[in-house]
Amino acid sequence: MSTNLHEQIQQRLAVLEEVRTMLIERLRVARDSDEIDPDTPLFGSGLGLDSIDAVELLVCLTADFGTKLPDDATGRAEMRSVNSLVDIILAARETANGRA
Amino acid sequence: MGVPEEVAAIRQSAALSRMDHVRCVCVRGERAYEALDGVVTSDLRVRDGQMIHSLLLEDDGRIVADIHLGRDGEEFLIFSEGPDSVELQDYLHRHLGAAGAEFEDWSQARALLMINGPYAWELLALLLGGDVVGLPYLTLFHFDDGICFRAGKTGEYGYGILIPRENLESLWMRLLEMGRALDVTVAGLDALDQCALENWYFNIRREGREPVTPVEVQLQWRVSNRKSYVGSECVARRRQEGPRQRITCLVTEGPIAVGDAIEIDGSPVGWVVNAGHSSTLDRWVSLGLLDIRWAHSGLDVFRVRAAGGEVGARTMSPPLVNNRSLHVSPQIHSYATRHEFTFPPLRRP
């Protein structure tokens, strides 16, 4: 495995774990971390989050991860699964690192 | 009309489908709740009129059926995909019958239709009245001689209609007639399967053929961590040991097929378990059962050994479609006024 690829995977796994922790601690998802699969849907029948949780999720993304969703329409599409949250956090960090 | 046109109707208007591949079973009796709770994988917290999306497993943890289970008073309705009628009855006889529940296969006497699409609610409202547009996801209600429920595996608004089979043809024609103004189209199983693939709905007829447990196919959200059910010991063990493989979504530059090997730098890391051309995205979409070390989204390092030669592939986070239903509100929109609004593109960046 190349160093870059190894780093990319480790970075993704670290953010995935942060998101799982946020879901368990802040949004009271009653699951162990290893039960939350990366592509689990957040809303509806997946983790069962509702519209109030969506607001809390937006607050957490901003406060804990420094990530702000661009607008309502895009936001709905970006908040579909655990992995889609990981994607936007990684993209935001990449952008921030690029600016630094 | 071909699959792309049928998929386009599901994604942009509404489509009507016969669901003859779905078995419907009614479970009843004093021990029905306890018996079902020991069989279905999810916690059976379901009140009258509610539904859950769950699974049936074999003792070794393999997935037997992809089910929606609804509570209708003291009875429970199972809508099952996967096993045929004989296989399902055999499974239920072994696991439910032994636990003291009675069950009856309704699949011969009743027929199931589905309406899917961002404007599916509009067609349903023409049939059953305006109140149905407020029907919450995973709930059911009775009408005349039928049962209507809200569920689906396309990522769009979806409604099931269960009716006596002798009423099927007349209702079918009536819905097509009512749906003319909505450009309602008939969509077959291939179109439904493509939508499921684009949206990452588990397909028991594709990836479900692999000898996998819910852990490998990322369906732990449908699995209880508080109770015993058929296969629970194996699922718990698999979770404890950690899965060796995991289903992951890939997009490729060219055609690929189920069974094609997936490699990194010439070394095998998995194989394709579901694949198809997405007419919505105009690209090839697949699911790979990948070595857990590589089963991560966002990696652009894979090659698929396809019949037509090697094809580059990268993993992505599903759903791949920006479903129009996320942006269509029955309180604001209608099919007739769709051109007055700007919706985001169906294809996610």
CA distance A36 to chain B (A): 7
Q: Check if A74 contacts B (Cβ < 8 Å).
A: yes
Helical residues (DSSP H) of chain B, grouped into ranges: 3-12, 32-37, 85-95, 120-128, 168-178, 189-199, 232-241
Q: What's this model's pTM, rounded to 2 decimal places?
A: 0.96
- Asked whether B300 and A5 are in contact (CB, 8 A), the reply is no
* Chain A residues within 8 A of B223 when measuring between CB atoms: 35
Each residue's pLDDT expressed in tens, for chain B with a length of 349 residues: 899 999 999 999 999 999 999 999 999 999 999 999 999 999 999 999 999 999 999 999 999 999 999 999 999 999 999 999 999 999 999 998 888 899 999 999 999 999 999 999 999 999 999 999 999 999 999 999 999 999 999 999 999 999 999 999 999 999 999 999 999 999 999 999 999 999 999 999 999 999 999 999 999 999 999 999 999 999 999 999 999 999 999 999 899 999 999 999 999 999 999 999 999 999 999 999 999 999 999 999 999 999 999 999 999 999 999 999 999 999 999 999 999 999 989 987 7
In sequence order, the β-bridge partners of residue B250 are B286, B315
Domain ranges of chain A: 3-96
Contact B301 A80 (CB under 8 A): no
DSSP B294-337: T--TT---EEEEETTEEEEEEE-PSP-B--GGGT--TTT--STT
* Chain A residues within 8 A of B301 when measuring between CB atoms: 5
Confirm or reject CATH 3.40.50.970 for domain A3-96, answering yes or no: no
